[in-house]
């Protein structure tokens, strides 16, 4: 199970001292994945265990971007109302993996894992003009293959 939540904001000024242009931007990101895996354990030594198997996961992500601009000496950008860009991603992932772990104590281990992450997702992006009068929508199917390496701390209960 994985959950990610992030936010960022920025304010910038450009132009001249007599006619500044102030721009504000913000973004929000949320990602969730839930999965299940099956692994075979192979004891190597007293506290070392090798394992191999795979995971299946469902992926759900959402990204929003907000922008606002104001010009003039005493103007500040208006409050954010609706996102200027909005993207959603939904799909699945298959991850065959190989790893090992070392039992520090009976219920606590540390280890490393390497895997090949094959993901297939459907993405929808909506882009609006600042005035909100025009909207552009695009859809796409994205397939990725990534290798991943993780250091894993596990508590068994």
| pTM: predicted TM-score of the whole model, two decimal places | 0.68
Can you give the pLDDT at residue 77? Answer: 67
Angle of CA points 117, 118, 119, to nearest 5°: 110
Is the pLDDT at 157 greater than 70? The verdict is yes
Can you give the pLDDT at residue 138? Answer: 92
What CA–CA distances, in Å, run from 25 to 22, 129, 130? 10, 14, 12
Tens-place pLDDT, residues 90-101: 999 999 999 999
Confidence of residue 85 (pLDDT cuts 50, 70, 90): confident
Q: Mean pLDDT across the stretch 127-151? A: 86
Tens-place pLDDT, residues 5-17: 999 988 888 877 7
Tens-place pLDDT, residues 18-44: 788 888 888 899 999 999 999 999 999
């Amino acid at each position: 199970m994985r959950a990610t939540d992030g936010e960022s904001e920025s304010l910038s000024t450009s132009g001249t001292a007599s006619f500044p242009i102030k721009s504000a931007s913000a973004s929000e990101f949320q990602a969730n994945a839930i999965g299940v895996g099956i692994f075979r354990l192979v004891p190597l030594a007293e506290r070392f265990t090798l394992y191999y198997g795979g995971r299946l996961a469902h992926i759900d992500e959402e990204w929003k971007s907000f922008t606002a601009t104001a010009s003039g000496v005493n103007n500040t950008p208006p409050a954010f109302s609706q996102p200027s860009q909005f993207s959603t991603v939904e799909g699945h992932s298959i991850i065959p993996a190989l790893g090992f772990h070392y039992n520090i104590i009976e219920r606590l281990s540390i280890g490393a894992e390497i895997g090949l992450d094959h993901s297939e997702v459907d993405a929808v992006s909506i882009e609006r003009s600042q005035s909100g009068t025009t909207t552009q929508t695009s859809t796409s199917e994205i397939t990725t293959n990534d290798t991943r390496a993780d250091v894993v701390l596990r508590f068994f209960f």
